Structures are given as C-alpha cells and as structure tokens.
C-alpha cells in the first residue's frame, strides 16, 4: 500500500524494527515503502537506547523479544509516543485485548501473509488499530465500568452531522473503514474524511477512543 505524500512528514516516517529474527527483520525492512526510514534492533536494550536518542513514528516489535526479556509493553510505552505494532504467534482475544490496554495499536499475527504487515503499519500510522473486528468489540463491551459522558462531550456530539454519527456508531461496533464504506455506499476515502472530522470535533485521538465514547452513550 502506498502512502500519499500529504500523509507523511517531509523527512519520512521513522520506524524502529525490533525483531531478533534477522531473516524476518530483513524481509520486512526490504519491503518497506520508500517513505519509511528504518532502524533495526535485535534486543530490547538496543531499542530502549534508540528511543532515548530519537523518537520514531512507529515501533514494530516482536512479542518474543518482550517475553524473553520479561519486559512489559507498557514499559516501552512510557518512554515513547510512537505507535506500537506487535508481531508474533496467534493470540487469543483476551491476549490481544491486553496488548491494546498496554498501549499497542495492534497485533499482527505472524502466520498471516507478511505483505499484509505494510497495511497494518499504514493503518496504525493513520490512527487506526490493527486487530480482528471481534477483538475491538470484546474490548469495548468488556469495559463494563462506563465513565460518565460529560456535558461538554455531549455538546461536542451535537456538532456531528447525521453521517458522522452513523460512521461513529459503526466504529463503536468494530466496523472497519471498508465495511463502513460498503454499508453507507461511499468510498473509503470519504469514510476517512468523516473520521478526521469526527476526531477533530470530539477531540479524541483515534477510533478506539471514539468507540469507547460511543459505547458510554449507549
């Protein structure tokens, strides 16, 4: 998937690849679109040192590196505002939800075709999450302690158009941009435009925060 020039920093997208498997790391690095500037690390220690010197836009980290070094994902998240995508073996819904709660933007199943990882990177770079739809639904539904929606938030909601509300509702049920586009008979580009407007009007950072907000309204 190509990244439009208007979507990236003129200097490129800095991505850290933290994977001990040299073959996998090189396969991913070589296939990266030209807009990405990559740095590779085989250990968590090397990754931590790099983060202290320069902040990347994305970190792609293999789950095995964290497990072998007994490092929590949240420990990395405390050091960086980078969007983190974990890659590793198949995980249960609960395990993937735990990853999201610790600060990751997604979990890439290494049994999937490796070329799909570029779609995953593109998605999280643009504010989406990369997990199966049922994971998002379980995460939103599993947050049983609903926080009270403030009067200020309700006032902001009044700014949304009917189509924006429709998009937001579908996001809260775990729908992808492609699914929303099909349901509303519009293009994915239009869905993205609606989401950008929604994020700005509601002052929410991403679709997961939006989903939680609309869950609290139900």
**Model pLDDT for residues 87-141, shown as the tens digit of each residue:** 999 888 778 777 887 788 889 999 889 999 999 999 899 888 887 766 666 665 6
- 16-50 per-residue burial string, b: 16 or more CB within 10 A, e: under 16: bbbbeeeebbeebbeebeebbebebbbebeebbeb
Are 138 and 98 within 8 A, CB to CB? Answer: no
Strands in the chain per DSSP E: 13-18, 36-41, 58-62, 83-88, 106-109
**What average pLDDT does this structure show over 206-216?**
75
Domain check: are 146 and 125 in the same one?
no
CATH number assigned to the domain comprising residue 165: 1.10.10.10
Domain check: are 79 and 150 in the same one?
no
The kind and range of the H/E element at 135 are helix 133-142
Predicted confidence band at 4 (pLDDT cuts at 50, 70, 90)?
A: very low
pTM of the model as a whole: 0.62
Q: Domain tally for the chain?
A: 2
Q: CA end-to-end span of the chain, whole Å?
A: 36
Domain check: are 111 and 152 in the same one?
no
Distances from the Cα of 147 to the Cα of 12, 89, 143, 150, 165, angstroms = 38, 34, 9, 9, 20
Residue 148: left (phi > 0), alpha (psi -120 to 50), or beta? beta
Domain check: are 117 and 21 in the same one?
yes
Which residues constitute the domain of residue 121?
5-130
Domain check: are 208 and 157 in the same one?
yes
State the Cα torsion 40-16-133-145 to the nearest 10°.
130
pLDDT reported for residue 76: 87
How many other CB atoms sit within 10 Å of the CB of residue 145? 5
pLDDT reported for residue 141: 61
- Taking the CA atoms of the chain, what radius of gyration do you get in angstroms? 18
Domain check: are 74 and 160 in the same one?
no
Domain check: are 33 and 116 in the same one?
yes
Domain check: are 162 and 183 in the same one?
yes
Q: How far apart are CA 83 and CA 43, in angstroms?
A: 18
Task: Determine, yes or no, domain membership for 136.
Answer: no
Domain check: are 118 and 179 in the same one?
no
Percent of the chain at pLDDT exceeding 90: 39
């Amino acid at each position: 998937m190509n990244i439009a020039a208007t979507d990236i920093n003129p200097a490129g997208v800095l991505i850290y690849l933290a994977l001990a498997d040299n073959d996998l790391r090189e396969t991913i690095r070589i296939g990266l679109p030209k807009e990405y500037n990559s740095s590779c690390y085989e250990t968590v220690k090397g990754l931590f040192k790099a983060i202290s010197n320069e902040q990347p836009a994305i970190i792609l980290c293999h789950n095995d590196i964290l497990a072998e070094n007994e490092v929590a994902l949240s420990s990395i998240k405390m050091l960086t505002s980078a969007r983190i995508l974990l890659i590793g073996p198949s995980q249960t819904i609960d395990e993937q939800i735990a990853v999201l709660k610790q600060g990751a933007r997604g979990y890439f199943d290494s049994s999937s075709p490796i070329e799909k990882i570029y779609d995953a990177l593109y998605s999280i770079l643009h504010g989406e999450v990369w997990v199966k739809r049922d994971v998002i639904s379980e995460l939103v539904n599993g947050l049983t302690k609903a926080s009270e929606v403030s009067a200020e938030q309700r006032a902001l909601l009044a700014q949304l158009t009917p189509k924006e509300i429709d998009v937001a509702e579908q996001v809260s049920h775990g729908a992808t941009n492609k699914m929303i586009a099909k349901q509303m008979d519009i293009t994915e580009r239009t869905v993205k435009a609606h989401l950008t407007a929604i994020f700005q009007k509601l002052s929410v950072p991403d679709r997961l925060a939006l989903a939680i907000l609309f869950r609290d309204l139900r």
